[in-house]
Each structure stands twice: as C-alpha cells, then as structure tokens.
Amino acid sequence: MLILAATPMGDVGDASQRLRDALATADVVAAEDTRRTKQLASSLGVTITGKVISFYDQVEAARLPGLVDAVREKKTVLLVTDAGMPSVSDPGYRLVAACVEADLPVTCLPGPSAVTTALALSGLPVERFCFDGFPPRKQGQRTTFYKNLIAESRACVFFEAPHRLAASLADAVAVLGSERRAAVCRELTKTYEEVKRGTLGELALWAADGVRGEITVVLAGAQPVASEPEDLVEGVEKLVASGMRLKDACAEVAIGGVGKRELYEAVLTARAGVEPAE
C-alpha cells in the first residue's frame, strides 16, 4: 500500500513510533529530499532497508507510474516530505489520486503539521478555519489574495516565505486594515520558536526589519458587520462565476443578519435589473 507519513518539523522527538517502523520496513521510500530523510532516519537510529528515491515537484510526474506499479505489486511505498504532512503544500496529492484511481490502498501516519500547530498557538478563535497555501509572490496577485479574505469569517492559516513576510503583511494592512488580528508563527518546534500575536499593523511593523525561519501566519476571521442584501450581491456573483451554485454562494456570503433566502432574492432582483423597494 501507499503510506503517507508526517515527519518532524524540527524536533525529532515528535517522530512517531509508526514513522520509525515504516522507515525501517518500507520497500520503497519516496522522499522530497533524500538527504534530509536519511539524516532523519539516522537521528532516529533507524536503518532504511528499502529503496530510497527522490519525489519532489520537478520529478513527481515522471516518478508516479513506477510508484503506482510498486503498490500494485503489493509493495509498501512510504511517502515523506521534508517536514510535516505530505500533500499539504508539499508533493503527494497526485500520487494519492493515482492510487485511488487504480483502486489501490492508501493510508496515513498522522503527526506534526504546521497548520494545526499554528492554529493552536495563535490565541485566535479557530473553531472554523481555512488553509490557503502560500500567498502569490507578485504584489498585484497578493493584493487580490487578501481581498478574497475581506469577508472571510473563518480564521485563515497560510505559509509565507521569510523574505516576503514584511511586504505581504504590508499588503494585508492595506487591504484588510491595521486592526485585523493575526499571529505569525516562526520556526515551530525548533530551538528558536517564536509566536508574535497582535494586529496586522503591529505585526507589519515588527516584520519590517526582517524575519528568518519557516513562517506560518494565522489571520483572524472577519467580524460580521451589519449589511443590506444588495451590498452582498457582488460577492455572491463572484463565487457563482467561479463555479459555485447560487444557493451555496448565498449561504457562504450571508453575514451581518442578512439571511440566505433574503440574499438569494436580492441576487435574482439584481439580475432582473429591478430597483429594490424602499
């Protein structure tokens, strides 16, 4: 079968016994970075007996058929990335999809994840959250990224490169305002772990001098504001244009005391070009 395994983000003590056993017994170990995986095994006192092959973005497509064939031949294929859970902004999902398509068994060894660790440490309400990968590198596209979070009521967690963090937070302030709360988590589980909590304005000032290390950001969800149905029609239509059903889009956008049915009727009215009644 295919086994996806979470690996430590920094502290090797977070490695599970199941990860140790899988590294020692798998027929094939597909690793984002073979050197780091071998170093991890050495740190854990584990000898990898199977074949170790590289599996990173640039070779993922070429490696897929061989790994699927290995699973089909009743071999155990262990997929590990540099840190955290495969498929979460790391290679993995294409291999999982290929095995699922071929009706081959897939399982997962749970463990460290920067996403859930940052959410827990953020000090923000995170009962509902979304994960958004990395913001775009270019400022214009990054501005659009933050615009899509203006009315997002769920907490949003995402990764950011340390050399882009200051510019990214400055863009967040420009779009979302300086008072939206957030947390920047740096070097999670490592020696210099740090969590900075505050408003976007405060965090942007803190990051302006430069920040190092692996970065995970948690952004508080938008607070509901009083709205008129007509004010939310544009947001609904954007979701519909992206492929969402109208009813689902209304349920997603409805905030501030505006009901889903009320918003649905407002969209139909706007489409018909009828002025709303006073």
Neighbours of 257 (CB within 10 A): 11
Model pLDDT for residues 166-225, shown as the tens digit of each residue = 999 999 999 999 999 999 999 999 999 999 999 999 999 999 999 999 999 999 999 766
Model pLDDT for residues 131-148, shown as the tens digit of each residue = 999 999 999 999 999 999
CA distance 167 to 252: 29
Residue 108 has pLDDT above 90, yes or no: yes
Do the bridges between strand 77-80 and strand 2-5 make them parallel or antiparallel, or are there none, so unpaired?
Answer: parallel
CA distance 237 to 246: 8
pTM over 0.85: no
Lateral strand order in the sheet of 155-160: 129-131, 155-160, 215-219, 181-186, 194-199
Q: What is the mean pLDDT of the chain?
A: 93
Would you state the structure tokens that stand for residue 7, as one six-digit string? 């690996």
Q: Among residues of the chain, what percentage have pLDDT more than 90?
A: 82
Domain 115-219 in CATH 3.30.950.10? The answer is: yes
CA distance 217 to 232: 27
Residue 28 pairs with which residues in a beta bridge?
51, 77
Residue 160: name the closest of 221, 118, 216, 84 by CA.
216
Model pLDDT for residues 28-41, shown as the tens digit of each residue = 999 999 999 999 99
Residue 275 has pLDDT above 80, yes or no: no
Phi first, then psi, for residue 165 (nearest 5°) are -60, -45
Residue 231 has pLDDT above 50, yes or no: yes
Residue 58 has pLDDT above 80, yes or no: yes
Do the bridges between strand 215-219 and strand 155-160 make them parallel or antiparallel, or are there none, so unpaired?
Answer: antiparallel
Q: Can you give the pLDDT at residue 278? A: 46
Q: Domain 2-112 falls in which CATH fold? A: Cobalt-precorrin-4 Transmethylase; domain 1 (3.40.1010)
Give the chain as a DSSP string. Answer: -EEEE-B-SS-GGG--HHHHHHHHH-SEEEESSHHHHHHHHHHTT----SEEEE--GGGHHHHHHHHHHHHHTT--EEEE-SSB-TTSSSTTHHHHHHHHHTT--EEEE----HHHHHHHHS-S--SSEEE-----SSHHHHHHHHHTTTT--SEEEEEE-GGGHHHHHHHHHHHH-TT-EEEEEESTTSTT-EEEEEEHHHHHHHHTT---S-EEEEEPPPPP----HHHHHHHHHHHHHTT--HHHHHHHH--TT--HHHHHHHHHHHHHTPPPP-
Sketch the domain layout of the chain as residue ranges: 2-112, 115-219, 229-272
